[in-house]
Structure 1
């Protein structure tokens, strides 16, 4: 004897609550990312909200929202893009300053080596 009409109302109610909870997590994550001016894409939203990227792609409303927000952010500057757009002249200046710093550090190292030799020599004389 099997039950021809099983009672699935509790199961359906739990599934609906889970779906609502997940949608709320995604919404909270997106709002926080907008507030923090973070880059919005499927990967970052998935990490921030704790849901899979597959879920984000399958839900049409969330998918279109992320795509719209991502497209809006295309024109905004990103520190990675700023670094890539450095001119050749500014790179040359940066390289020159790094070379200067290396030479200063090498000179200081040589002085410390020489000082160490003198200190060791004095130490062994006193023994």
Structure 2
């Protein structure tokens, strides 16, 4: 008993409503990201809105909006980029302090090995 004329109108209507709800959620997330001055890209929008990246790429209006906002933000410096712009002199200072710390730890390790060897030899002599 197969239906030769299936009525799929309800399914199509349901899917259109579902897509509309998802679009509303995505638009709200984008607005929140703009207000929070956060980075806007497909990954963050998809993650925060709970939709797949493919949904964003397939939806032409959302794709164009995200592309536009992402390109608009390209000129802005992100906190990660600002942090990475340390001078060569400060990097040299950090490297030198790390070298001194490594040297100190190597000396401490050498002393501890000597102490251990001494204790083990004393223990061996007692046996």
Report the TM-score when normalising by structure 2.
0.74
25-34 or 59-68, larger mean C-alpha shift:
25-34
Query: How many residues align structurally?
Result: 124
- Cα RMSD, aligned residues only: 2.7
Whole-angstrom CA distance in 1 between matches of 2:19 and 2:98 = 55
3-state SS of paired residue (2:86): coil
50-59 or 10-19, larger mean C-alpha shift:
50-59
1:53 paired with 2:53, answer yes
1:112 paired with 2:112, answer yes
Alignment of 1:2-13 (within 5 A): 2-3=4-5, 7-13=7-13
Per-residue Cα deviation, 1:35-81 (whole angstroms, up to 9, x for no partner) = 665422123323443433332133233123322432343313331x2
The corresponding residue for 1:70 is: 70
Indicate how the Cα distance of structure 1 residues 58 and 101 shifts in structure 2: closer, same or farther if over 3 A, else same: same
Whole-angstrom CA distance in 2 between matches of 1:9 and 1:96 = 72
Whole-angstrom CA distance in 2 between matches of 1:36 and 1:98 = 37
The corresponding residue for 1:98 is: 98
Shift of 1:121: 1.4
Report the TM-score when normalising by structure 1.
0.74
Whole-angstrom CA distance in 1 between matches of 2:98 and 2:10 = 67
Indicate how the Cα distance of structure 1 residues 100 and 36 shifts in structure 2: closer, same or farther if over 3 A, else same: farther
Alignment of 1:7-26 (within 5 A): 7-26=7-26
Task: Provide structure 1 residue ranges, at least 5 long, that are not aligned to the other structure.
Answer: none
